A and B are shown apart, each in its own frame.
Chain A
Amino acid sequence: MEITTLHYLVVAAALFIVGTIGVLTRRNVVIILMSIELILNAVNLNLVAFSRLYGLHGQVFSIFVITDAAAEAAVGLGILIAFFRNKETVNADEIDLLKF
């Protein structure tokens, strides 16, 4: 039994589904951000698996995706700290200041 590219794609799809469930169902904003990291990692696994077949462009793009994930985590956690200083909670259901 040889490991093909499709095996890696199935693992990446499973990670993507798990991350989607985390984003859509959890209330804690920290864990929602961690689930976003899981989704970005699934995308990275797809890119690197295809770069095995089609050249190194996928690996280069996965470096860009990692950089984007770092920036997004920094901004998201900064927003979270600012929100926690105002309302003393990190519950996503209570972030409803713009709700009419």
Chain B
Amino acid sequence: MGLPFLPVRGVIGTDYTVVRPDFKTIKNPYGADEILVVPAVSPDVSLIHAFKADKFGNCIVNSSIDDALLARASQKVIVSAEEIVDTEELKTSQRGNFVSRIHVDAVVHMPRGAAPTSCGSYYSADIEVLKSYQAAAKDPQTFSSYVKEFCLRLRDGGDAA
């Protein structure tokens, strides 16, 4: 939307402003009461995994989550995609939300780029990998090397599996 903040009514009177001191109360310019405002979320850069993209940055993202909204809200966007396809194929894609290239700064071809999380009809979440990550986290001595090795398997678009 390009707005710097939005007014929110329901939070007034709660302890929310203790948790979030960046949420401010201002005078309602149209009345005598006060209204709470929250700052816009506009990341410097966002990372988004798409089903399909073309080489110009147009892409199809999951429609059940807020990736298309995040792309529009961000200053810059890096997209990884399961498939790089012709623009015509994006226009006829029945599944997902279309994100225009005007919102996208870089596209990288990364098959299985969301694993071990799920990716639509391409693959399911790898529960065993996710459980092994949680188990590894219980030992702080070895967890950092587990994380390093996990990342090294994905260097330059490698596959975690």
Asked if A pairs with B, the answer is: no
**Interface on B for A, CB 8 Å cutoff?**
none
